[in-house]
Amino acid sequence: MDEALKQKTKKTAEMLFHTLKGGTGFELWKKFDKDLARELSMFFTGKLYSREVISQKQRELCAVAALTALNRTHEVRAHLHAALNVGATRQEVAEVIFQMVTYGGMPVVVDALTVFKDVLVERGEWKG
């Protein structure tokens, strides 16, 4: 196994998801196929999410937008944490979610805002 890639994967995952209680999908993937889970993690986190073409903040705001429009509330929760962890402000995240009304409709915006509120509460950052 490429030790440098393994370390980059670990470092990137820690930076993005260290505040996420219960972990990411990786823990579930491992229960089905440990080797495949490792390969997927090395690709997503070690290669794709560690690229420097766009900033981590831009990358996570893109993820929040896409997951909001697709109404993937479980996944958007992880990427809301990640966006905040890499410097996105509460206002920037909310704006990206609101922008998705054009592409996904108001129901997906409401769902994502509900998840965002829960994430802020978990982090002790909800001010109402």
Residue 125 is predicted with a pLDDT of 93
Q: Are 64 and 76 in contact (CB under 8 A)?
A: yes
- Segment 11-16 shows an average pLDDT of 85
- Note whether 93 and 104 are same-domain residues: yes
What percent of the chain has pLDDT above 70?
98
Rounded to the nearest angstrom, the gap between the alpha carbon of residue 66 and the centroid of all alpha carbons in its chain is 11
Q: What is the rounded CA–CA span in Å between residue 87 and residue 93? A: 10
Global pTM exceeds 0.95: no
- Note whether 47 and 58 are same-domain residues: no
Tokens of 92: 């920037």
Q: What is the rounded CA–CA span in Å between residue 11 and residue 45? A: 9
* Last-in-domain residue among 34, 51, 68: 51
Give me the number of domains the chain comprises: 2
In a 10 Å sphere around its CB, with 0-12 CB exposed, 13-18 middle and 19+ buried, how is residue 26 labelled?
Answer: middle
- Note whether 46 and 58 are same-domain residues: no
- Note whether 57 and 46 are same-domain residues: no
Q: Are 16 and 80 in contact (CB under 8 A)?
A: no
Judged by phi (left if over 0) then psi (alpha if -120 to 50, else beta), residue 124 lies in: left
- The least confident of 31-35, 41-45, 75-79, 107-111 is 41-45
- Note whether 69 and 41 are same-domain residues: no
- Note whether 8 and 71 are same-domain residues: no
